[in-house]
Amino acid sequence: MAGFSKIYYKGKEIIYVDYQEQSEDEMITTATHLRDWLLSERKPHLRLVNITGAFAKPKFNQFIRRLGEETKDIPMKGAIVGVTGGKKALLIIYNKILGGSLKPFDSEEAAKEYLVTQSLN
């Protein structure tokens, strides 16, 4: 089910942001739930984002940029699935140049393994 939730994997809490097949308005609603949680909790966390079948459009991209600015002081380790082809290459370059923190994976299982074996520090 798409949306914002907490999941547990190998005893660790992961914030799961599931945009699968969502429209732009639904994606903004999901991101709003994430923002609300981040700003209320303000704690380090593991984050898994799934964008399979979703397309980031300008309004959503602007929202996410603002979210990043509002929450840049909150430590997190992140993984993303659903990024393929040229978009995956662009994400890798973005991460290297601008310090982005969402590492792309081909499956949720691989992403979860990465998250639970990494330190937030």
Q: What's the pTM? A: 0.87
> How many domains, the chain?
1
The amino acid that residue 14 corresponds to is I
pLDDT of 86 = 67
Tens of pLDDT, residue by residue, the chain (121 residues): 579 999 999 999 999 999 999 999 999 999 999 999 999 999 999 999 998 988 878 898 888 888 888 988 999 999 999 887 767 666 666 566 555 678 889 999 999 999 999 667 5
| 64 domain residue, yes or no | yes
| 121 domain residue, yes or no | no
Q: According to DSSP H, which parts of the chain are helical?
A: 24-41, 58-71, 85-98, 108-116
- Supply the CATH number for residue 70's domain: 3.30.750
Residue reference for tokens 């299982």: 109
| 15 domain residue, yes or no | yes
What DSSP string runs through 41-59? H---EEEEEE-TT----HH
pLDDT of 72 = 86
| 84 domain residue, yes or no | yes
Domain membership of residue 32 as a residue range: 3-116
Q: Would you say 66 and 38 are in contact if contact means Cβ atoms under 8 Å apart?
A: no
